[in-house]
Structure 1
């Protein structure tokens, strides 16, 4: 699970930071500081992002978490290996690009001191267009993840219905016996046929929902190297 209030570690491995008081060798301490500085490039802090960037990253993380927590994912109706392999790469790419966007956006909040009004207005307008285009491109990726999560939720709902129908149908023999005692065989067969048809309809809907989820996954999670 991810949270917007934490530091997002998005690089493989763990950086160990040793306090200066525990390191007697000054050269070793300096090397640790250099390693920490290098590691900062592979970390995205909430403070690194503007408010709109934080919101987009949170949306992406919520969508990915919803997929990973779904029944159809946990029970391997979806391509679980692909989800678990691609999601970290997608999360890092989105966070990295949002950090870059935020850095440029914040620089734009400090206009140059020496520029006439017309030039300044033109520069700010141009910067605004570039920033909006950049943010929109990232948002499209987030929306694709949200569409995938929505399709997975639909598949989950249909899957739950299939399981409930199966549970009810498991007692169909007992139900048939009860019906046979109080009605004709034709009525009993009709009632059981209704249950069978309902189960088939729900199963068909689940199959379609699952297929839609897989198609949404293909759109949201391009293959490694195709991105």
Structure 2
């Protein structure tokens, strides 16, 4: 099942919020409108008016939910509020009330400015052209997007990638760009196909078919091109899986080689012949061969990945 694909130029923090709310993302044409006054209505103003005196006179309570250091700051501010009352009684209370009035107004304005429209609608409106939903695709497009995403996921999660053996490919930069390019092409193919269907008004007469031939040829060529790109991603993922298997086998043989001395001594005591020792030594040789195979697999995977870079540019 394909996922929403995002423009890699969207800041990472915003992209994470959008991805976490992928089922809520609307079609770009249905992005939420900008609310009046930034979403700050009478209800928001009322809540700000209630919170303002709490921030001024009970800062310890107001800061308690914001973590350790906020609590420390709130307790310190609370001590400043209580000190005049403790030292001067009613005079201190009157002094606090006098100073508290303008501070409440400031707190009210700050709370009001920080309130308003939630983050998600703002991000959707700001980046409405920066994501493509699978629901917007038709024909073979959803399947092609799913294949591309599966290939990229396989490379990113591979052990050789986590170990940094493919770092030249700069997977974190190249592969998201590849996915976005694939998604954009598939979305454009879907749009043109729908537009073509609307303009023909369901007719398939010889003249209409003849007029459609150049457009359909262009659509077919573009589809073949994106299929080749998806297949290139899948080849890269396949090379990465081979390299992963070689790395796993190499580690297993290294683990076995660590116990060679004990087995060598055991065979030397029981068999006392060169053949038995040679069998143990063969483990080291096999490890060397697997290591060479690993390097060869990694190099092939890196070349497969590097072949994608010109397309991403």
Which TM class, normalised by the smaller chain length?
0.7 to 0.9
- State yes or no: 1:23 paired with 2:23: no
Contact map agreement 2:168 2:302 (CA 8 A) in 1: no
Which residue pairs with 1:86 in the alignment? 174
Deviation at 1:99, TM superposition (A): 0.8
Which residue pairs with 1:147 in the alignment? 235
1:135-174 equivalence runs, <5 A:
135-174=223-262
User: Which of 198, 220, 234 is equivalent to 1:110?
Assistant: 198
Which residue pairs with 2:279 in the alignment? 191
SS for the counterpart of 1:157 is: helix
Go from structure 1 to structure 2 and tell me whether the alpha carbon gap of 1:109 and 1:189 turns closer, same or farther (over 3 Å shift): same
58-67 vs 33-42, greater mean Cα deviation? 33-42
SS for the counterpart of 1:110 is: helix
Q: TM-score, normalised by structure 1?
A: 0.83
Contact map agreement 2:239 2:301 (CA 8 A) in 1: yes
Which residue pairs with 2:208 in the alignment? 120
Which residue pairs with 1:134 in the alignment? 222
Partners of 2:208 and 2:10 lie apart in 1 by: 43
Q: TM-score, normalised by structure 2?
A: 0.62
| Structure 1 unmatched ranges of 5 or more | none
More helix by percentage:
2
Contact map agreement 1:74 1:80 (CA 8 A) in 2: no
Partners of 1:59 and 1:114 lie apart in 2 by: 31
| Structure 2 unmatched ranges of 5 or more | 19-31, 42-115
- State yes or no: 1:203 paired with 2:291: yes
Go from structure 1 to structure 2 and tell me whether the alpha carbon gap of 1:204 and 1:114 turns closer, same or farther (over 3 Å shift): closer
Deviation at 1:112, TM superposition (A): 3.1
Deviation at 1:92, TM superposition (A): 1.1
RMSD: 3.0
Aligned length: 218
Partners of 2:185 and 2:232 lie apart in 1 by: 16
